[in-house]
A and B are shown apart, each in its own frame.
Chain A
């Protein structure tokens, strides 16, 4: 029983390890050779087990010889493993040399069944012991010792030259293999000559248990050979099966005790039925039992167990839904800490100080733009420190002693991942210790790589977004400022415009007052108020009077234009008799016409035209402007200027026309003629001092009084200018506000 308890689990564990290593070995020589070593050890311990349990001395001798056969091969595999494992310091041209030095142990193996190795084996209570051995056995022991020493030497050499995980793994293997070999040496070589060898063999077996345990531990905790998950699963499975087997055995045994052995009526059928029922129960309970053991082993081996898919998809969701740099970084950190169960997680986002004119993305001096948990003192990274991390993944434990490693140690960073997109180095993802205290597995690193890639892109997007936001803000600020400036400028312009209007109003008022006096006194002299005047004097005075009147009109023109500009232009309607005012205006131009040698003929209507509700002052200006133009622009006509003035009325309209034989308006200028300040080139030539306001005002006044402009012209032949005003509608309903006021005024 003791033998069984010693051998069975050892063999089982070694078998599992061997198979898993063998299956996972692939083309890795280190894994292959270690798998071979394990298989050899398993076979060796199995042979010893058989030798120890058999009662037949011959069988025992056979199994012992078989064990020695295998024992000769173990050092070869182990030496090969020591050479292949870790960094390839010595692998150059290795296999031929290995084959060469393996000739001796292989030869010894082939000679295992000779009497010169072991000739007599005694079966005792504790197991088989070698009674008689030959010189070959000594050579075998010496060879093994030599090989193992060489292998340990190689391992120690490698241990010195490696760091991190590999170093740890070498230490595990050295410890396991060393213990096992020394124990075995002790029991097999030294104690084999003494009298009580039984316990010694047992001691040797226990040494293999130690080896198996240490190697298992190295696999599970030290990430040796990447078979951790498989190992744990197999162990779980074996535990489940073993438990069920024990349960099955116990139930079957006790039930049989209780019922079947005591009753005579036991039938083959009922026994079978019972077995079937039990098998069904076991079949159904197996998954449950396995889950139980899975959970139990997870708790032992995988305190940090997580589903990479869940972590990646959770983070993916955050990255897809969040565009704010800070919040997305913090959420990712939280997921990593909670779901992946790691501590000291920090995301550092780099910014780039752009040189003037350097527009290339990701260029310039890197700076720490942002980091999660910056308040923690230990995370106060320096850009000079972390910018040395250039690899996609840096695992602190795998680094050789260096400044970089010291820096990572100082900041408690176990794993550092560069966050890099195709375009830009966006920052780092730092991770501290896993909560479980384990080191980071390949799976962890793979998961983190995926996360780092996604995170890098998300950070770049978030930063672009932030830049756009900032740009928008700047733009908005600029617009705000520009609007403010414009508003201010507009206010100033309005004030200036008002000042200008006031000035023009004031200036025209100031100009009008002296003009009033000049015209008034001149007219009084002409009227004879200051004594009798001769005809000649009167003519002279009239010229003076007319000139003053013309100047008054010019001032009025200016004032009116200013009013139109500022929207203060208004018509003051009253009953106007054109039959009366037209001859008055004709009288005003008489002097000019005579002086310019232009013959003005007034064609008065046969019947007086009806009174119109129009603005007298402004209409007078229109009459004056049109007649004045006609005189000026026909004064250069070689055959002598001729102006005909018509006043006519039909059923609906009163029309006023001035027909001249002057310079006319070129066709292409006609459309622009009524525009403010516009003057046709030929008109400019004929009359350089014109203001370009006359026709503009006529157009405005006539339109505002619901009238129509009359205009036709042929260049070089003459023009017809005039307007027609409606008789009934003139003014009615056009200015209701004004009419309402007028009514009120009438009542008052």
Chain B
């Protein structure tokens, strides 16, 4: 997995579970999106700062730095989220997380309830909004 700079990156997936991250990578790549992958919050912060993607799929429970902490960190650094949509993906269903996500202004998706196609449709809808 590379953390290469890629100004064409459309979507950055930050997910610690390799099975799931690969699943989204495959689905989104097949749909024609340019994907970059991060395995934890720290990597996510660097990737987002470097590439300014149109959308981030951010897992919450990850080692080293959680997805919520990563977005908080970026906000603290002054990252402009007006051109980057954030969709939190989680399986924890933790009410605290949901509140924090709400406060950060992101979308919240329970992975287990979704299929990759559902996620793809959500991304298409979101990116349509961003690009328009």
Is the C-beta of A523 less than 8 angstroms from some C-beta in chain B? Answer: yes
Bound together, the chains give a CA A515 to CA B20 distance in angstroms of: 10
Cross-chain contact B98 with A572 (CB below 8 angstroms)? yes
Q: Is the CB of B95 within 8 A of A519?
A: no
Interface residues of A in 172-226 (CB under 8 A from B): none
- In B1-44, the 8 Å CB interface with A consists of 17, 19-20, 23, 26-27, 30
A524 touches B26 (CB 8 A): yes
Residues of B within 8 A of A (CB): 17, 19-20, 23, 26-27, 30, 61, 91-95, 98-99, 102-105, 108, 110-117
Looking at the complex, which one of B20, B93, B116 makes contact with A523 (CB distance below 8 Å)?
B116
For A552, the closest partner residue in chain B by CB is B112
B61 nearest in chain A by CB position: A509
Most buried by B among A505, A521, A563: A521
> Given that A524-B23, A745-B102 are known contacts, is A516 also in contact with B92, CB under 8 Å in the complex?
no
User: In the complex, what distance in Å separates the CA atom of A741 from the CA atom of B110?
Assistant: 21
Residues on B with C-beta less than 8 A from A748 are 103-105
Asked whether any CB of chain B lies closer than 8 Å to the CB of A28, the reply is: no
Interface residues of A in 552-582 (CB under 8 A from B): 552, 555-556, 559, 563, 568, 570, 572
Number of interface residues of A (CB under 8 A): 31
Nearest chain B CB to A304 CB, angstrom units: 90
Check if B20 sits within 8 Å of A516, measured CB to CB. Answer: yes
Please, which residue of chain B has its CB at the minimum distance from the CB of A747?
Answer: B105
Minimum C-beta distance from A158 to chain B (A): 108
| Contact string against B for A residues 731-748, beta-carbon threshold 8 Å, 1 for contact and 0 otherwise | 000000000011011001
In the assembled complex, the CB of B57 is this many whole angstroms from the nearest CB of chain A, namely 13
Give the Cβ gap from B30 to chain A, nearest Cβ, in Å: 6
**Which residues from chain A contact B108 at a C-beta distance below 8 Å?**
572
Question: Is the beta-carbon distance between B115 and A523 smaller than 8 angstroms?
Answer: yes
Measured CB to CB, the closest approach of chain B to A582, in angstroms, equals 15
A520 and B92: CB pair below 8 A?
Answer: no
Closest A residue, CB atoms, query B95: A570
Q: Give Cα A269–Cα B26 distance, bound, in whole angstroms.
A: 159
Instruction: Write the chain A residue with the least CB distance to B30.
Output: A529
Q: Is the interface of A mostly helix, strand, loop or mixed?
A: helix
Cβ proximity bits A606-625 to B, threshold 8 Å, 1 near / 0 not: 00000000000100100000
Q: A689-745: which residues lie under 8 A (CB-CB) from chain B?
A: 741-742, 744-745
Interface positions of A from 469 to 519, Cβ below 8 Å from B: 505, 508-509, 512-517, 519
CB distance from B104 to the nearest CB of A (A): 8
5 closest Cβ pairs, A-B complex: A512-B91, A523-B115, A512-B112, A517-B19, A516-B111
Q: Confirm or deny: A58 has a beta carbon within 8 angstroms of a beta carbon on chain B.
A: no
CB <8 Å contact, A529 and B103: no
Q: Which residue of B lies closest to A515 (CB)?
A: B112
**How far does the Cβ of B21 sit from chain A's closest Cβ, in whole Å?**
10
Residues of B within 8 A of A563 (CB): 95
Q: Is A353 an interface residue (CB 8 A)?
A: no
Q: Contact partner of B103 among A508, A512, A519, A741, CB < 8 A?
A: A741
For residue A385, CB closer than 8 A to chain B, the reply is: no
Q: A509-B61, A517-B20 are in contact. List 13 more A-B contacts (CB 8 A).
A: A505-B94, A513-B111, A516-B20, A520-B23, A520-B115, A521-B23, A523-B117, A524-B116, A527-B116, A529-B30, A572-B95, A572-B98, A617-B110
Q: Complex: how many Å from CA A570 to CA B93?
A: 10
With beta carbons under 8 angstroms apart, the residue of B94, B102, B117 that contacts A741 is B102
Q: Are A520's CB and B116's CB within 8 A?
A: yes
Contacts of B105 in A (CB 8 A): 745, 748
Chain B residues near A556 (CB-CB < 8 A): 93, 112
- In Å, the complex CA distance between A713 and B105 comes to 46
**Known contacts A505-B92, A559-B93; is A744 also within 8 Å of B23 by CB?**
no
A454 to B113, CA, bound (A): 88
**Of all chain B residues, which has the CB nearest A570?**
B95
Residues of B within 8 Å of A559, CB to CB, are 93
Residue of B nearest to A744 (CB): B103
A516 to B61, CA, bound (A): 15
Q: Is the CB of B116 within 8 A of A741?
A: no
- Assess whether B20 is in contact with A509, with CB atoms less than 8 Å apart: no
Q: Is the CB–CB distance between B17 and A513 below 8 Å? A: yes
Q: Which residue of A lies closest to B31 (CB)?
A: A529
Cα–Cα distance between A515 and B112 once the two chains are bound (Å): 7
